[in-house]
Amino acid sequence: MDDPILHTSSTFNPQVIAAIQERAELGRYMIRGFGAFRNVPRLDDLVFLTASMTRLPLEGYREKCDTRTVLGTRFAKRPMELEIPITVAGMSFGALSKNAKVALGQAATWLGTSTTTGDGGMLPAERDASAKLVYQCLPSRYGFNPKDLKKADAIEIVIGQGAKPGGGGLLMGQKVNAVVAGMRTLPEGVDQRSPSRHPDWIGPDDLRIKIEELREATDWEIPIYIKMGATRVKDDVKLAVKAGADVIVLDGMEGGTAATQSIFQEHSGIPTLPALVQAVEALKEIGVYGEVQLVISGGIRSGPDVAKALALGADAVSIGTSALIAMGCNKPVYIEDYQALGTEPYHCHHCHTGRCPVGITTQDEDLMARLPIEEASTHVANYLQSMVMEAQSLARSCGKSSVHNLEREDLVALTLEASAMAKLPLAGTDFILGQS
Amino acid sequence: MTESLILSPPTLDCTGLTTREINQQLKKLAAAGADTVDLLNPQGRHNLAVAIEAPLKVRIRGPVGYYCGGLSEGVDIEVDGPCGWSVGENLMAGRILVKGNASACAAASAHGGTVCILGSAGPRAGISLKGGTLIVQGNVGHSSAFMMQAGTFIICGDAGHSLGDSLYDGTIYVGGEIASLGADAQLAPMTDEDNALLEQQLSPYGLATQDYAFKKIVCAKQLYHFKAQDFSKFKDAY
Ligand code: SF4
C-alpha cells in the first residue's frame, strides 16, 4: 500500500501539540532563550534604490564613506564618540559567561565602539576589556554601585526590552552560582525573578528626577540613554525625551534574551521595523530629531539591516544575539551536547538551561573553556567589521559619503506590510499602503 | 557661586543656588576634609547630597525632596524635616537620619549603611533592600520590603498590606500590627539574638525595644524554585 497522506491541523500543529503537552507536565508557562520565533515584517522587506542615471555612486573600494557616530549630545559634557554605527547591547554576566562578556568588550574596543553591562553589575574584567562601556541601571539594581557608575562612559536606564516588554528578567537557579549570587546579593541557586518596575520611581515625572540624580552623581559628564521595548512607541519615546534622555534605545520584538516566558517573545511588542519608523516620527513631532539620538535594536544581523535602519532615521543600531552567533552560538560543534539539551545546532534556544554547548551562556567552567577569549573576540570583531563594510558599500552605491547620509528616499518596500509599516512606496509603484 | 557663601562653621544656604552648585560645593567640602556642613533653606529640593563619598556630616535644616543622600557611601546626613521619595536610595555605607516623615520607597535598593526615619514612611519602604539597616519609628505603607534581598528592616509601628512580598532574604521586625504579609513572607519566632540586635540598632535613637511587641518576618522560601502543581501559589506570585 502507498504511504498514507498525512494531514496536519494548522490550529493544532505539531509545535502546538508539543507545547500543550509540555505545559500539562510542567504546570506553568514555558521559559526559553532567544527572541520571537514567528515571522514578522522586517528590514529584509525593503530594498535600496542605488545610484544609476539620476544619482552618482561613490567608488566602492576607494572613496571615503564615513561611519563615525556620536551619541548623547543633548546634555552630557562627554558624549559617546564611536567609530562605527553599531554598538553591543546589554547582556548580563550571569546570563553570559565571563569569557563571552570579555570577548564582547574586546571586540567592541577593537572596532571603536561601545559595549554594555547587564542585569548583574559591572564585571571588572569587562570594564578593563571595554574602552567604552555603557552601565545599565535596571529595575533589579543587582550589583549597582556608585563606584562603577563613576567608571562608566554612559548610563542606560532600562525600562524594558523587546523580548519581554513589561516583563522582568529570569535567571534560572542553575546559573546562579556563588559568584553570580554574590554579585546580585541573592541566595545561591535560587530561580531569580527580576522585577519589571524600578524600585525608586514609578512614572515619567519621577524618572525626570531620577535622571537628575544620576547626572548629579556623575557630574553631568556622561550621556544617559533610556532603553525600552517597542510597544506604544510614539508616546513612550516622547515621554522618555521629556524625562531628559540624551539617547533613546528602542528594542523591537525580535530582540533576544537569555530567559523569559515564551509568551512574551511571541505575543508582546511590535517588530523593529515599525518601531523604528514610529520613533523617528515621534522625535520629529516634538522637534528633537538630531538632538536626541536614536539607537535601534532587535534582530539586526547584517550590513543591509544597519544601512536600512540608518536610512530610516536611526543614528546607530545595537546587536546582541547576532554577536553571540558570531562567537559560535548554534555552531555545529559539540553536537551531542546540543542533543542532550533536546535540540540541534541552528535550532538551539536553550540559554536558560546554563548548559550552553559552546560556552557562551553558561557559568560552568568546563563549558566556558570552549570559548577562548581571543578567538571569540576576533570572531565578533570580524563580524562587526564585515557589517560596517556592507553598510558602507550600500551607502557608496547610493552615492553617500557617510552612512548617516542614507535616507528614506533611498528605500522602497517589497511587501504591502512593509510598505504600510515603513510608509515607503511598494517597489515599482507610487503606492504606499495606508497613505495613497 | 562665590566663596563668600561658605561661612565658618561651614554653612551652605541653598537659596539662589542650583542643585548642581550645592552638590558640587558639598563634594568640594568633603574632599577638603570638612567634617560638618549645615545646609540651610533646602525647600524640598530634590537630589541633595547625592553621591557623597566621604564621612561628611550634612545637617539639612528643613524638608527635602526625592533621593536625598542617594548613591552615597559613608556620608552622615541629618534631615530636620520630612523627605520625599527614595531617601537613601542605593546607599552603600554611612547613615541618614530623617527627623520627620518619609515618603515612598525609603532606602530603596540600599546596599549598606543605616537609614533611620523618626516619623512614618510611605509605601514601598525598604523595597529591594540589599543590605544595611532601615529603621522606621512610625508606620510604613503597603508593599514595604517588596523583593527585599538582604539586610535588616525594623518597623516600630504598623505595616501596611503585602509586607515583604516576594522577598528573597533579610529580616523584617514589626513592633505594631501587620495589615497583611505578601507572597512568601512568613512569621518566625523571635530569639535572644533578635532582641539583642534590636536593642543595639534602636538604642542610639533613644528607642527602647521593650516598648514594642516585635514580630519577626522572614522568607518562607516557597518561591525559590519554579515547581509544577503549586497551583494557587504560583498563579498569585508570578
Ligand atoms: S548555543 Fe548557547 S548561546 Fe546559543 S542558543 Fe544555545 S545555549 Fe544559547
- Taking only the tens place, the pLDDT of each residue in A38-94 is 999 999 999 999 999 999 999 987 899 999 999 999 999 999 999 999 999 999 998
In chain B, which among 85-104 make CB contacts under 8 A with chain A?
Answer: 85-86, 89-90, 92
The amino acid present at A101, given as its one-letter code, is: K
Q: Is A149 helix (H, G, I), strand (E, B) or coil?
A: helix
Contact residues on chain A for B20, CB-CB shorter than 8 A: 216, 220
Kindly state if the Cβ of A91 falls inside 6 Å of ligand 1: no
The answer on pLDDT for A358 being more than 70 is yes
Whether residue B224 and residue A206 make contact (CB cut-off 8 A), yes or no, is no
Higher pLDDT, A266 or A169: A266
Which residue has its alpha carbon closest to ligand 1 atom 8?
Answer: A351
B155 Rama class: left (phi>0) / alpha (psi -120 to 50) / beta: beta
pLDDT tens per residue across span A87-137: 999 999 989 999 999 999 999 999 999 999 999 899 999 999 999 999 999
- Measured in degrees and rounded to the nearest 5, phi and psi for residue B212 equal -125, 150
Q: Do residues A161 and A227 lie in contact, with contact meaning Cβ atoms separated by under 8 Å? A: yes
How far away is chain A from the Cα of B178, in angstroms, using its nearest Cα?
22
Kindly state if the Cβ of A320 falls inside 6 Å of ligand 1: no
| ipTM, 2 dp | 0.93
Half-sphere exposure of B76 (CA within 13 A, CB side): 7
In this complex, the residue of B124, B127, B130 whose CB is nearest that of residue A185 is B130
Pocket test for ligand 1, best of A99, A172, A329, A339 (most atoms within 8 A of CB): A329
Separation CA B156–CA B116 (nearest Å): 11
Q: Which residue of A has its CA nearest to B166?
A: A193
Chosen for mutation from B83, B147, B219, B233 (greatest number of chain A CBs closer than 10 Å) is B147
pLDDT tens per residue across span A167-189: 988 888 888 899 889 999 999 99
pLDDT value for B226: 76
> Across the strands, what pairs with B223?
none
pLDDT tens per residue across span A224-254: 999 999 999 999 999 999 999 999 999 999 9
Q: Is A250 on the interface with B (CB under 8 A)?
A: no
Whether residue A209 and residue B20 make contact (CB cut-off 8 A), yes or no, is no
Separation CA A328–CA A348 (nearest Å): 12
The answer on pLDDT for B3 being more than 70 is no
Q: Beta-carbon neighbour count of residue A385 at 10 Å?
A: 15
Give A205 Cα–ligand 1 centroid separation in angstroms: 39
Which residue has its alpha carbon closest to ligand 1 atom 2?
Answer: A356
Kindly state if the Cβ of A350 falls inside 6 Å of ligand 1: yes
How far away is chain A from the Cα of B210, in angstroms, using its nearest Cα?
32
- In a 10 Å sphere around its CB, with 0-12 CB exposed, 13-18 middle and 19+ buried, how is residue A387 labelled? buried
Cβ–Cβ pairs < 8 A, chains A and B: 116
Q: Is A436 on the interface with B (CB under 8 A)?
A: no
Whether residue A217 and residue B51 make contact (CB cut-off 8 A), yes or no, is yes
Contact residues on chain B for A146, CB-CB shorter than 8 A: 51, 53, 71-73, 90, 92
Cα A180 off chain centre by:
23
Q: Beta-carbon neighbour count of residue A382 at 10 Å?
A: 14
Whether residue A213 and residue B147 make contact (CB cut-off 8 A), yes or no, is no
